[in-house]
């Protein structure tokens, strides 16, 4: 699908050379309703950004997109979405239309998005830090009780007795099978003290638990939220050594140096033999074979928000169907935050809450000026090249920002046009079709999008 669309749009783009911009003339053209629409059969709606959604996204959050400038749909049959909003859907590269400029995950974990590939294409991926943290924290606290009292087994027992009409006779006799322990005075180890971990630590402390945390990249924002009494460990193994409960609140990162199977034989061997592991982060963090061995050998428990082929029917495991963020409040907050982030990017080039792009925000664009955004590899000469292109065409830069993150650099540049007539499409082509440039956009007039470059070296509308 991707290849076909690319060929089509590349051909269409090659024909697009009519939009001209004159010095000091107001920049008022709308490339959806003028040349672009005529030249590309792909673009059939007028002057609106196309938002594609995967998963069920809160309608209250989506209502943040003004209908005047945005159209939100599950499927853009012409493959011409400009931005994607999703939750846990495992996004395939082939589902990213060539016209897509941004992807927002309504939630925290972006391991379901091909982020590295999007970086190569110059497409920012956003998430919504903290938007669903309270919902998850509440379920982690619930997990503490699921692990300390045999609630699920007790509930199942009551159902069975009820079916046999025996509840009243048997309850008091049978309840000794479901005895538990209390959480007050026990130790909770928190692995990852970000939005969820820090909030969980605070709550657990208020419930009378001792807390110990491990997070080698603890942010100041999170540190300020931690309970004063928390002790800080210098490794996962030392954090879990004295713990009765262990809560995992770290991202899942594949590959070397990542977090795949981080709770494996080694870490488990440092735990007490009756510890309760709460996994409301990602199933892949736990090595199922090692966890099974651990649960078989002692009286430990595993409470997880994720499916597990090996542990789903283990007597000491309780698995939930990924319910952590499934509250009305979290769904609405995350969707609203994602919608705002996407709008800020599409309309102003602003980057906030991105997991692959550097933060960037340029002050308001002056009336009549044009905003150009360029994502490049973070290598010498890129900024000079961009400035040269503008200078060559007699275009004055009014304000600009250049930021970088890892291998990627991002520029937002406001320009006023010089005395000569400029073909914006040619200009963008020149800016974009240069080694090291990943994508670019031109923002002017009403909602719209510019060229971007794909990995094969072609460009498209």
Ligand X SMILES: NC(=O)C1=CN([C@@H]2O[C@H](COP(=O)(O)OP(=O)(O)OC[C@H]3O[C@@H](n4cnc5c(N)ncnc54)[C@H](O)[C@@H]3O)[C@@H](O)[C@H]2O)C=CC1
Q: How far is the CB of 417 from ligand HPV (least distance, A)?
A: 43
Region binding ligand X by CB under 6 A among candidate stretches 159-167, 216-224, 341-349, 438-446: 216-224
Please list the residues that pair with 248 across neighbouring strands.
Answer: 191, 279
Residue 109, interface with ligand HPV (CB under 6 A)?
A: yes
Q: Are β-strands 452-453 and 459-460 bridged in parallel, bridged antiparallel, or unpaired?
A: antiparallel
Residue 91, interface with ligand HPV (CB under 6 A)?
A: no
Q: How far apart are CA 123 and CA 433, in angstroms?
A: 16
Query: 30 is written with which tokens?
Result: 């709308």
Scanning the structure block, which residue is given the tokens 């300390």? Answer: 148
**3-state SS assignment for residue 178:** helix
Q: How far apart are CA 211 and CA 248, in angstroms?
A: 13
Nearest Cα to 251, choosing from 109, 115, 91?
Answer: 109
Which is closer to ligand HPV, CB of 196 or CB of 267? 196
Helix (H) / strand (E) element for 452: namely: strand 452-453
Helices of type H across 93-166: 115-120, 133-148, 151-163
Which is closer to ligand HPV, CB of 87 or CB of 441? 87
Region binding ligand HPV by CB under 6 A among candidate stretches 107-115, 218-226, 387-395, 439-447: 107-115
Residue 213, interface with ligand HPV (CB under 6 A)?
A: no
Q: C-alpha angle with apex 231: 225 to 237, nearest 5 degrees? A: 115
Residue 250 binding target from ligand X, ligand HPV, none, CB below 5 to 8 Å by type: ligand X
Which is closer to ligand X, CB of 70 or CB of 214? 214
**3-state SS assignment for residue 82:** coil
Region binding ligand HPV by CB under 6 A among candidate stretches 76-84, 286-294, 321-329, 419-427: 321-329
Q: Are 292 and 310 spatial neighbours (Cβ–Cβ below 8 Å)?
A: yes
The binder of ligand X chosen from 53, 99, 222, 247 (CB under 6 A):
222
Q: C-alpha angle with apex 93: 35 to 75, nearest 5 degrees? A: 60
Q: How far is the CB of 228 from ligand X (least distance, A)?
A: 19
Site string for ligand X, 318-357 (x = CB under 6 A): ----x-xx--------------------------------
Per CB under 6 A, contacts with ligand X among 128-187 are 129, 132-133, 136
Measured at CB, which residue is nearest to ligand X? 194
First-to-last CA distance in the chain?
16
Residue 399, interface with ligand HPV (CB under 6 A)?
A: no
The binder of ligand X chosen from 51, 108, 303, 311 (CB under 6 A):
108
Nearest Cα to 76, choosing from 90, 55, 96, 106?
Answer: 96
Residue 129 binding target from ligand X, ligand HPV, none, CB below 5 to 8 Å by type: ligand X
Which is closer to ligand HPV, CB of 107 or CB of 358? 107
Per CB under 6 A, contacts with ligand X among 273-302 are 280-282
Residue 87 binding target from ligand HPV, ligand X, none, CB below 5 to 8 Å by type: ligand HPV
Which is closer to ligand HPV, CB of 88 or CB of 458? 88
* Residue 102 C-alpha from the chain's centroid: 11
Scanning the structure block, which residue is given the tokens 């509840």? Answer: 167
Scanning the structure block, which residue is given the tokens 């491990």? Answer: 214
Region binding ligand X by CB under 6 A among candidate stretches 173-181, 215-223, 371-379, 448-456: 215-223
Q: State whether the Cα torsion 359-111-60-122 is positive or negative.
A: positive
Residue 259, interface with ligand X (CB under 6 A)?
A: yes
Q: How far is the CB of 125 from ligand HPV (least distance, A)?
A: 13
Sheet holding 301-304, edge to edge: 231-232, 210-214, 187-191, 245-248, 276-279, 301-304, 317-319
Please list the residues that pair with 247 across neighbouring strands.
Answer: 190, 278
Q: How far is the CB of 135 from ligand HPV (least distance, A)?
A: 9
Nearest Cα to 302, choosing from 185, 250, 193, 312?
Answer: 312
Which is closer to ligand HPV, CB of 251 or CB of 445? 251
Q: How far is the CB of 394 from ligand X (least distance, A)?
A: 46
Scanning the structure block, which residue is given the tokens 């159902």? Answer: 159
What is the contact surface with ligand X in residues (CB under 6 A)? Answer: 107-109, 129, 132-133, 136, 191-197, 214-219, 222, 249-252, 259, 280-282, 305, 322, 324-325
What is the contact surface with ligand HPV in residues (CB under 6 A)? Answer: 87-88, 106-109, 132, 324-326
């Amino acid at each position: 699908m991707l290849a076909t669309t690319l060929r089509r749009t590349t051909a269409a783009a090659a024909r697009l050379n009519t939009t001209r911009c004159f010095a000091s003339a107001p920049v008022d053209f709308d490339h959806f309703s003028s040349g672009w629409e005529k030249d590309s059969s792909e673009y059939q709606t007028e002057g609106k950004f196309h938002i594609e959604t995967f998963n069920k996204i809160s309608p209250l959050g989506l209502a943040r997109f003004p209908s005047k400038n945005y159209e939100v749909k599950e499927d853009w049959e012409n493959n011409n979405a400009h931005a994607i909003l999703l939750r846990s859907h495992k996004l395939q590269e082939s589902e990213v239309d060539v016209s897509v400029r941004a992807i927002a995950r309504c939630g925290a974990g972006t391991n379901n998005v091909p982020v590295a590939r999007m970086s190569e294409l110059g497409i920012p991926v956003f998430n919504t830090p903290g938007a669903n943290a309270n919902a998850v924290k509440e379920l982690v606290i619930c997990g503490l009780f699921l692990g300390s009292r045999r609630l699920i087994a007790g509930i199942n027992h009551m159902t069975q007795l009820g079916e046999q009409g025996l509840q009243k006779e048997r309850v008091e006799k049978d309840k000794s099978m479901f005895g538990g322990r209390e959480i007050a005075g026990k130790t909770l180890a928190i692995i990852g003290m970000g939005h969820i971990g820090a909030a969980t630590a605070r709550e657990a402390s208020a419930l009378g638990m001792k807390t110990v945390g491990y997070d080698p990249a603890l942010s100041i924002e999170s540190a300020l939220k931690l309970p004063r009494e928390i002790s800080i460990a210098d490794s996962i193994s030392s954090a879990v050594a004295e713990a009765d409960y262990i809560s995992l609140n770290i991202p899942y990162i594949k590959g070397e140096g990542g977090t795949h199977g981080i709770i494996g034989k080694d870490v488990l061997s440092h735990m007490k033999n009756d510890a309760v592991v709460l996994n409301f982060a990602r199933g892949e963090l736990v090595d199922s074979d090692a966890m099974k061995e651990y649960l078989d050998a002692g009286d430990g428990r595993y409470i997880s928000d994720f499916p597990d082929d090996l542990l789903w029917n283990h007597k000491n495991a309780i698995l939930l169907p990924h319910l952590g963020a499934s509250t009305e409040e979290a769904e609405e907050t995350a969707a609203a935050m994602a919608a705002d982030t996407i709008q800020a990017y599409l309309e102003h080039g602003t980057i906030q809450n991105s997991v692959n792009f550097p933060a960037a925000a340029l002050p308001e664009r002056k009336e009549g000026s044009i905003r150009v955004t360029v994502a490049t590899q973070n290598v010498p000469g890129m900024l000079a090249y961009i400035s040269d292109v503008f200078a060559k065409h007699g275009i004055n830069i009014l304000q600009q920002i250049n930021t970088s993150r890892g291998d990627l650099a991002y520029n937002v540049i406001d320009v006023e046009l010089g005395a000569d007539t400029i073909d914006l499409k040619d200009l963008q082509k020149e800016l974009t079709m240069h080694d090291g440039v990943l994508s670019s956009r031109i923002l002017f007039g009403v909602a719209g999008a510019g060229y971007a470059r794909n990995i094969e070296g072609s460009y498209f509308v």
